[in-house]
């Protein structure tokens, strides 16, 4: 988003809470207070509440379109307990003068519990914007596949989203219960991951370090991911890398010792294999120890596969293992741990590779401030591994719990609901 537009979108002067994971939004959310209503007419109160709530719920949707979607029918459910239903037919609630017998007036002891009612009120008013949650773009945002509702909308328009296996390019498609939507994995990783360190970013990072200390707002608004974080990331990666390199070094040393000790007894084939192993380990080491990783690594998978194969052969050992003397056996036992460490390092590398061709920072790490916004409402079931989610049912209100994720209080939502009721 352009800076000027962003400054107004996440304004500090006239704050509006938005459907994004932006840090300014988080600040506005943390500092949000109930609006001052005492000197306002009822109309003004409703107008204000409408404006504020609509700033969050589908601000990218035209008012007329939302008015058509709005429903005064608010869905709710009651949890009925089968054990209660098996023991009672409901007549005990109509006993006496019609509202049940008061069995123990002192301590409400004899009252039937678990009959579906509790003392908590049902927050119906928090369901005002429930129809909005049916929209495909909003559901993608709620499933944590995009960092804002507008970005989710872009994913749909750009053809990165499938509904029930078919490409869907309408962000306003209303999901039906049971619909499964899938978002392109790379898009999700780009949207939710840290920003990549580019040359332009880097230049900014050196200046924004001092700028942040000086408290300059403008600088870091433009880069949503402040560049200070990138340094920390490098440090974390460096320690991990050191461990990997160490494991690889040990492996190489061992392979060399095996060749030296058993050079006479070994078959040519095995010798060749071991030499290839040393070569591969060398190349992997140089790859891992490269800090900037400028070069492309296409054969990552091949190298690691070869390594794994050789590792297993080394471990089992064909006919040489039987011939090997006591010392070498002991050495083999000692390296089991190292092998595991190496295997883990390789697996981690395979799972989350360092790949400069990606549009996000690799290895992938979540973007800052994501955790404060990370929740998945119960009407969705999400499988993060394949970036797919099922819209199970419409959001409902139950006792003490409104399922629509809304940052506003019940009073505000109620005023907004009253605005859309259009009854003077």
Partner 1 sequence: MPPRIRSSQVLHRAESSLLQCSSNPTAPAAAGRPSSSYSSSTLLSSSLSATSSRQPSSPCCAFQRSSFSSTASRDLNRAQRTFWEWMRTDGRKLRDPVGHPNYLKAGQQPFPSNNAFKSQPILSDAARNTIYNAVMNEGLPLKAVSAKYNVDMRRVAAVVRMKEIEMKWIKEGKPLARPYAKAVQSMVPHSHLSGEEQDPFEPINDIHVHSHTMQQLFLPTSEARHFTRQDAAKAFGEHILAPDEKMRIPELIAFEKDLVAGVGNEDAEANFFKATAASERAIADKHLARAQRDENNKTRVDSGRFEFRFERISVDSAGQDGRARRGVGWRYGVPFNDRRRAVVKIPTKVE
Q: Which of residues 29-58 bind partner 1 (CB under 8 A)?
A: 29-32, 34
Distance CA(255)–CA(70), nearest Å, equals 70
Residue 110 in contact with partner 1, rule: CB under 8 A: no
Q: Is 2 exposed, middle or buried (0-12, 13-18, 19+ CB in 10 A)?
A: exposed
- Residues from 270 through 309 that contact partner 1 (CB under 8 A): none
- Interface residue with partner 1, options 346, 387, 415, 416 (CB under 8 A): 387
Nearest to 74 by CA among 407, 406, 374, 424: 406
- Both tokens assigned to 62: 């035209």
The residues in 318-357 that bind partner 1, with binding defined as CB under 8 A, are: 351-352
- CA contacts within 13 A on the Cβ side of 203: 2
Please, what is the minimum distance in Å from the beta carbon of residue 261 to partner 1?
Answer: 39
* CA distance linking residue 376 with residue 382, whole number of Å: 8
* Of the candidate residues 4, 64, 83, 327, the single one contacting partner 1 (CB under 8 A): 83
Residue among 253, 271, 313, 398 that touches partner 1 (CB under 8 A): 398
Minimum Å gap between C-beta 42 and partner 1 is 21
What is the smallest separation between the CB atom of 375 and partner 1, expressed in angstroms?
A: 4
Minimum distance, C-beta of residue 291 to partner 1, in the bound complex (Å): 20
100 in Cβ contact with 92 (< 8 Å): yes
How many residues of this chain bind partner 1 (CB under 8 A)?
106
C-beta separation of 107 from 131 below 8 A? no
Determine, following the binding rule CB under 8 A, whether residue 385 of this chain makes contact with partner 1: yes
Instruction: Kindly tell me which of 79 and 330 has the beta carbon lying closer to partner 1.
Output: 79
Q: Which stretch binds partner 1 (CB under 8 A): 70-78, 101-109, 270-278, 325-333?
A: 70-78
Which of 26, 245, 278, 331 contacts partner 1 by CB under 8 A? 26
Give the CA distances from residue 165 to residues 162, 208, 389, in Å, rounded to whole numbers and listed in that order: 5, 44, 12
Interaction residues for partner 1, span 138-157 (CB under 8 A): 144
**What angle in degrees, to the nearest 10, is found between the helix axes of 300-316 and 228-261?**
40
- The contact pattern for partner 1, residues 155-194, with x = CB under 8 A and - = no contact, is --------xx-x-x-x-xxx-xxxxx----x--xx--xx-
Closest approach of partner 1 to the CB of residue 389, in Å: 8
Greatest CA span in the chain, whole angstroms?
Answer: 102
- Beta-strand ranges (E) seen in 154-243 are 161-163, 166-167, 179-183
Distance CA 157, CA 338 (A): 49
Site membership for partner 1, residue 128 (CB under 8 A) = no
- 334-340 contacts at long range (C-beta below 8 A, 24 or more positions apart): 335/250, 335/251, 335/254, 338/247, 338/250, 338/251, 338/254, 339/251, 339/311, 339/315
Q: State which residue, 24 or 419, has the beta carbon closest to partner 1.
A: 24
Among 63, 67, 94, 282, binds partner 1 (CB under 8 A): 94
Query: Taking CB under 8 A as the rule, which mask of x and - marks residues 229-258 in contact with partner 1?
Result: x-----------------------------
Q: Which is nearer to partner 1, 38 or 375 (CB)?
A: 375
Judged by beta carbon, residue 110 or residue 366, the one nearer partner 1 is 366
Compute the CA torsion angle 422, 138, 15, 127 (nearest 10 deg): 40
- Does 27 help bind partner 1 (rule: CB under 8 A)? yes
Question: What is the pairing mode between strands 380-383 and 388-391?
Answer: antiparallel
User: Which C-beta is closer to partner 1: that of 235 or that of 321?
Assistant: 235
Residue 63 CB neighbour total at 10 angstroms: 10
Question: Pick from 128, 205, 365, 418: which binds partner 1 (CB under 8 A)?
Answer: 365
Min CB(134)–partner 1 separation in Å: 11
Let me know how long the chain is: 424
């Amino acid at each position: 988003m352009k800076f000027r537009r962003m400054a107004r979108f996440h304004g500090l002067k006239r704050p509006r809470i938005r459907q994004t994971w932006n840090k300014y939004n988080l600040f506005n959310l943390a500092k949000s207070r109930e609006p001052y209503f005492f000197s306002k007419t009822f109309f003004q109160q409703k107008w204000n509440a409408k404006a504020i709530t609509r700033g969050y719920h589908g601000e990218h949707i035209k008012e007329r379109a939302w008015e058509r979607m709005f429903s005064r029918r608010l869905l709710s459910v009651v949890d009925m307990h089968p054990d209660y239903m098996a023991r009672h037919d409901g007549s005990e609630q109509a006993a006496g003068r019609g509202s049940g017998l008061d069995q123990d007036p002192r301590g409400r002891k004899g009252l039937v519990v678990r009959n579906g009612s509790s003392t908590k009120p049902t927050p119906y008013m928090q369901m005002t914007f429930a129809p909005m949650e049916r929209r495909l773009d909003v559901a993608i945002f709620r499933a944590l596949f995009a960092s804002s509702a507008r970005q989710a909308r872009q994913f749909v328009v750009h053809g990165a989203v499938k509904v029930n296996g078919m490409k869907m390019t309408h962000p306003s498609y209303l999901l039906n219960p049971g619909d499964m939507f899938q978002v392109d994995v790379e898009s999700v990783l780009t949207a939710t991951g840290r920003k990549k360190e580019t040359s332009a970013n880097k230049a900014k990072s050196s200046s924004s370090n001092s700028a942040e200390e000086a408290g300059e707002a403008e600088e870091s608004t433009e880069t949503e991911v402040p560049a200070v974080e990138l340094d920390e990331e490098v440090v974390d990666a460096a320690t991990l890398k050191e461990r990997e390199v160490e494991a690889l070094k040990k492996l190489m040393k061992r392979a060399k010792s095996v060749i030296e000790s058993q050079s006479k007894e070994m078959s040519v084939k095995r010798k060749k294999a071991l030499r290839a192993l040393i070569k591969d380990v060398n190349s992997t080491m140089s790859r891992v120890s490269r800090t900037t990783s400028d070069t492309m690594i296409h054969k990552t998978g091949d190298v690691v596969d070869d390594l794994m194969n050789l590792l297993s052969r080394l471990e089992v050992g064909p006919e040489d293992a039987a011939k090997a003397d006591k010392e070498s056996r002991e050495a083999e036992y000692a390296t089991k741990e190292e092998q595991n460490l190496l295997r883990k390092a390789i697996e981690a590398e395979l799972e989350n590779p360092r790949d400069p061709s990606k549009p996000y920072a690799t290895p992938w790490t979540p973007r800052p401030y994501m955790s404060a916004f990370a929740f998945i409402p119960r009407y969705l079931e999400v499988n993060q591994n394949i970036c797919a989610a099922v819209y199970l049912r419409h959001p409902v209100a139950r006792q003490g719990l409104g399922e629509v994720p809304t940052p506003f209080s019940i009073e505000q939502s109620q005023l907004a609901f009253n605005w859309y009721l259009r009854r003077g």
